[in-house]
Structures are given as structure tokens and as C-alpha cells.
Amino acid sequence: MDSSGAVGTLIMIVTGLTTFKGLKDYAYFEAYKFNIDKILINKEYKRLITSGFLHGSWLHYGFNMIALLSFSFSLELTFGYVKFLLIYFGSKIGGSLLALFVHRNHGDYSAIGASGAISGVIMSSIILFPDHNIGFVILPFEIKSWIFALLFIVISIFGIKAQRDNIGHEAHLGGALTGILISLILRPSILEQNPWIVLLTAGPIIAFLILIIRNPAVLMAEKYWGETLSRRNFRFREKANPQDLKFKNKSEREASLNQLLDKIKKEGIDSLSKKERELLDQLKNDI
């Protein structure tokens, strides 16, 4: 997987030109980057895709394009040009949609880069060839592709949870899952030939998405992983003081309070668990 296909090369060239334009022209960069308010309020849905043609630096661009060209050849041979484009742009949209969901309450959140699309391409290749080795440009060793996939997913999940860096982990995870799903639709035989790699990659992502959809507070508090997981000590211990629950910022506290109030409105105050009541009391005091 060290050669580039024609479509991958074309994407690299076009992305290079638009990145050059964006780095030189601030207005152009601002007009096409991913931005929550511009998408949700102004309905500029084009940004879900156009942000993938912009990069913050040539180093950012270089890493993404090396990754793209390392995997595009095998996928173009396997699926053909049209289906490869479907995987690439479908993964880009999938990554952007997950970022939109995770940051829907952060109106000023912005992002750029093709990493969501490339994550989908990489995962598509891995579920096709799980026993292939993946090498790294700056490291003198290779690892099995399925090991790389698992590490990638774990890092992305904890990156989304922590929100301590400028990496678009949401785009990575959303793009990865979309790439897997589109590949399964295009070639269902993958599920028969390598069911274990599909379960190993898609399983943790889907489980995490269900968790944050059912309990958005998981994304808002540093030590909180939900009521069910708390019983197995993934959260804080049952006797812990609710004041130990730390939120990342004021907007996260307000969003968590709104979630609890919405639940009360729909299901009544009795629907809150003991921990949710304690959390509600804390939030009312903090805000």
C-alpha cells in the first residue's frame, strides 16, 4: 500500500491548490472552513465537504496526503474510481456530521482538514486487508493493520472525551465508521470473510456513539462515563462527592443543565436518577 492511484493523486493536487489559496487568502479560508454556527444557523452545508480541502499548514497537508496516497491505490484497485470517491467523500461527510453533533453547543467551533475522509479510506483498507502491515514514515517498524485500527479508535474516543488538543478526533471517528459502513455496503462479502475485524473496528465506535447519544453529559464532564459504567468504576466511586465532578467550562455546565431540564420536562422529575439529582443540585449552584 505504498503507491498512489490516479484519483488519490488528483485529490492531493486539488487539495494542495485550495490549501495554498486558503493560506494566502483569509476570506477564502473563512468562507469554506467547518464552523458550527455557519452550518447550523446559516445552513451553509457545503462546509461539511469544503473544509476537507483546507489545511492549517503545509505540515498538516503533508501528513494527510501521505496517508491518503498510502492507501488509495489498493482501494481504487478493489472498488474502482467511482466507489473510491464515494468512500472518500462519504467519510468526509460522516466525520463532519459527528463533529457537528459533538460540538453542536459550541457555536464558535471551527475545523479544517481532510482527516475525516482519510480515516474512512484507511479503515476501509484495513477491513479489506486486516493482516497487512502498516509502516510509519518516522518510525523504523511496522504493525499489523488491525492493531493500528484498534489503537486509532481508542485514541479517538479518549480524544473526544478529553478535548485537550486541537486534533479533530470527532472527524476521525465519524469518518472511520462511515468508511467501514460504505465498504460493507459496496462489498458485503467483507463481513463473511473478516467478521472479526468488522466487529473489532465498528463495535467500539458504535458503542461509544450510543453512549454519548443516550447520555450527552458523558461529553461534558471529565470523569463521567454514564450511570451504567459507573457501577464498574469507569466513573467515580458510588460514595464520591458530586462536587468532584469537574466540567470543562461554563458552556459545558449550561449544556448539561439544559439536558437535565429537558429530561424533567419530557419525563418528569421522578425520572432522574440519584446521581442526576445530585448533578442537578450542583449545576444550579454553579451557574
What percent of the chain stands above pLDDT 90?
56
Residue 98 lies inside a defined structural domain of this protein: yes
The answer on 157 and 60 residing in a single domain is yes
Residue 32 lies inside a defined structural domain of this protein: yes
Mean pLDDT on 54-65: 94
Domain boundary among 187, 214, 241: 214
Residue 236 has pLDDT above 50, yes or no: no
Residue 36 lies inside a defined structural domain of this protein: yes
Q: Which of 70, 172, 183, 256 is catalytic?
A: 172
The answer on 278 and 199 residing in a single domain is no
Check if the beta carbon of residue 192 is closer than 8 Å to that of residue 180.
Answer: no
What's 48's domain CATH number?
Answer: 1.20.1540.10
pLDDT at residue 3, rounded to an integer:
46
Cα-Cα-Cα-Cα dihedral sign, residues 218, 172, 209, 123: negative
Does the pTM of the predicted model rise above 0.85? no
pLDDT band at 265 (very low <50, low <70, confident <90, very high): low
The answer on 186 and 128 residing in a single domain is yes
pLDDT band at 132 (very low <50, low <70, confident <90, very high): confident
Per the structure block, which three cell numbers stand in for 163? 478535548
The answer on 264 and 178 residing in a single domain is no
Q: Which of 72, 91, 96, 115 is catalytic?
A: 115
Is 172 one of the annotated active-site residues of the chain?
yes
Domain boundary among 164, 185, 214: 214
Is 169 one of the annotated active-site residues of the chain?
no
pLDDT at residue 161, rounded to an integer:
85
The answer on 193 and 239 residing in a single domain is no
Residue 245 has pLDDT above 60, yes or no: no
The answer on 253 and 200 residing in a single domain is no
* Domain total in the chain: 2
The answer on 109 and 30 residing in a single domain is yes
Residue 263 lies inside a defined structural domain of this protein: yes
State the average pLDDT for the chain: 84
Residue 66 lies inside a defined structural domain of this protein: yes
Mean pLDDT on 192-221: 89
Residue 219 lies inside a defined structural domain of this protein: no
Residue 161 lies inside a defined structural domain of this protein: yes
Domain boundary among 168, 184, 214: 214
Taking the C-alpha atoms of residue 87 and residue 142, their distance in angstroms, rounded to an integer, is 25
Least confident residue range of 30-34, 113-117, 129-133, 256-260 = 256-260
The answer on 256 and 206 residing in a single domain is no
The answer on 87 and 132 residing in a single domain is yes
The answer on 271 and 173 residing in a single domain is no
Closest CA to 65 of 131, 126, 17: 17
The answer on 254 and 195 residing in a single domain is no
The answer on 147 and 63 residing in a single domain is yes
pLDDT at residue 163, rounded to an integer:
78
Closest CA to 202 of 187, 218, 183: 183
130: Cβ contacts below 8 Å, ≥ 6 apart? 144, 145, 146, 149, 194, 196, 197
Cα-Cα-Cα-Cα dihedral sign, residues 11, 16, 18, 19: positive
Can you give the residue range of the structural domain that contains 184?
Answer: 6-214
What percent of the chain stands above pLDDT 70?
77
Check if the beta carbon of residue 107 is closer than 8 Å to that of residue 31.
Answer: no
